[in-house]
Amino acid sequence: MNDGSDEGKAFSTAAAMRELGIDKDNFRTIGLLPLVLVAWADGTVQRAEGALIRRVAREKGWLVGGGEALLERWLNARPDDDYVNAGLRLLHALTNERRGLSGAITTATLSNLLVLCKDVAEAAGGMWGLNNPISAEEEQALVRIAEAFEIGDAGTWRRIVAELEAQPPTEAPGPKGALVVGDLPAMLGDPLGTLMHCLNEHGDVVRIPIPGNEWYLISHPDHVKRVLVDQARNYPRGSSYDRFRLIFDKSIGTTDGEEWRPLRRMAQPAFHRESVSKMADMMTRCSEEMLEQWAKRERPEASFDVALAMQQLTLRIIGLAVFSVDLRAETASELGHAVVDALEYAAGASNPFRMPLTVPTPANRRFNRSLEIFARFIYETLDARAKDEGEPPPDLLSMLLATVDPETGEGLSREQLRNELLAYLVAGHETSANTLSWLFFMLSRHPLVARRVEAELAEVLGDEAPTVAKLDELRYLDQVIQETMRLYPPAFMLPREVQSEDNIGGYTIPAGAWVLVSPYVTHRRPDVWDNPEGFDPDRFLPEAVAARAPLAHFPFFAGPHKCIGQVMAMMEIKLVVAAMLRRCRLDLVPGFEPGLDAQVTLRPRHGVLVTPRFRGASGLEVGRAE
């Protein structure tokens, strides 16, 4: 492949990959090349050797992206020495990358590969276990590999292998679970308690036994960063998102790779700050109109469920923002119930004992009814928009209808529009409503914090309604929102499927397993947060944030799949709180406890029961509005 004239030049992984015919999709297959070298050492690849290499490839997940064809090419025709040398050098170089392509290829991987190479050399013993001695040619190949990896020389590879084989297994610790059902009952019955128990009892990386799969709880901020940011390509949504595809099919929130990329490109402009800022006045107006409704009730002083009110408010806001449809009364109630039923079904979809959707159980009927309600509403809205010959309204639907993928020149199909619009409708109101509900609960529990928020609103806004131009000045309110989302993140658990075997925190994470990243758990780690169960907005002063790991706090997730609606959600939450607290204080009913309902989102199980106190000329009074 070369004559050695480039000896001493800086090594380029990209150039080496091009030279070897390897790309970003199948690069992990290079980890099999040392095994192939040993198999060819005596002039032919024996059947047992080939079978072992293929099994290793499957177990480690190293045959993706065309890797299987590449491996078969190596097994059928011996790679020449230049090719092997370049491959070994590339493999060693990838272990030194802190991010990017290195993925599952770590220094520990190289050492373990040396053990596997020894296993290949011994594989010719046959099915009867006759262990042929390692040949001189195989010995030379093993020495060559150890030297290339810089982990041994001619006299040490056997010692290295012996030491590695004597080490205890690197399986992560975790609860044992029942013989048949594993830890599934605990996860279904009390997921938050189970996850926190796993952290407190077993540490940073915890294996959770689940029937038919392996789950690994990852909670250290550095490990979260590896999964969501540095090695995001190795941790796609994959099969772990099948339950959400039941609702949203192939949408921006459920796809990966080449399916996801064009959807994100087309949707991103609609969620830029400039675009969503145009919706600010509408959000403020809706908030003030709800406040008026509270004040004009027959008994304004009566307590009510502010969590239910926030569901109604955010559903109305998202309806206007996305469709320019004012969702009230019957339609809003029907859609609201459909959202709850659909998310509850998705939350339990990983239960292996659940009946198929074709069986008319009560839960299945409710879920199918939800899908019918969603489809009818969205398709009727699309049909009405198609017939409207006037100027299109400035909403997200208009932006999506007008946008095309800059790379392909194609727009969204009717089915793609259905999927995206449904994702915005469900996620766009459920998560904001929950955050607002928890925020009002925490303010009622912490009156000193509430008074600071009210003082900031008075100083920044005076007698004026909140506007998008003033939001950046509401710094303490921003801290309160961030602290609320620390304790009650919109989504408490984020699953990812492991594409290729990895090593996290010294533990092997096998291909095909699921990794669970939990904002709820990471946000409560006592080694990251002082008094983690306490409520302290000053944790989010700029200097405090700068002193923490970047992913100690990630309510909107991180990496390429970071929530596309983050800017819109934060703007909405700030405007709603500012509009309401200017004119009203919400006091928690004495003795009331909301409870936690961990489905897909984290909502108050019993709502949040409050009594309103309206601001008048004479101050705060129960049941009065002037």
Angle formed by the axes of helices 33-40 and 136-148, nearest 10°: 160
Low-confidence ranges of the chain (pLDDT < 70): 1-11, 95-109, 124-132, 152-157, 160, 163-169, 177-188, 329-330, 349-353, 616-626
Give me the pLDDT at residue 179, please.
Answer: 40
* C-alpha to C-alpha distances, 266 to 68, 116, 271, nearest whole angstrom: 33, 46, 10
Residue 516 contacts residue 217 (beta carbons within 8 Å): yes
Torsion of CA 437, 598, 238, 415, to 10 degrees: -50
Interatomic CA distance for residues 104 and 504, integer angstroms: 9
The two three-digit tokens of residue 580, written as one number: 């309401």
Q: What angle do CA 287, 453, 581 make, to 5 degrees?
A: 25
Give me the pLDDT at residue 370, please.
Answer: 93
Give me the pLDDT at residue 483, please.
Answer: 99
Give me the pLDDT at residue 129, please.
Answer: 42
DSSP secondary structure letters along 571-621: HHHHHHHHHHHTTEEEEEPTT----EEESSBEEETT--EEEEEEEETTEEE
Interatomic CA distance for residues 227 and 221, integer angstroms: 10
The two three-digit tokens of residue 598, written as one number: 């961990």
Give me the pLDDT at residue 134, please.
Answer: 81
Give me the pLDDT at residue 24, please.
Answer: 76
Q: Which CATH architecture has domain 242-622?
A: Orthogonal Bundle (1.10)
Residue with tokens 């928890």: 438
Interatomic CA distance for residues 330 and 350, integer angstroms: 32
Interatomic CA distance for residues 457 and 575, integer angstroms: 11
Interatomic CA distance for residues 339 and 312, integer angstroms: 12
Q: Model-level pTM?
A: 0.83
So where are the chain's domains? 13-166, 242-622
Phi-psi region at 541: left, alpha or beta (left = phi > 0; alpha = psi -120 to 50): beta
Interatomic CA distance for residues 168 and 171, integer angstroms: 9
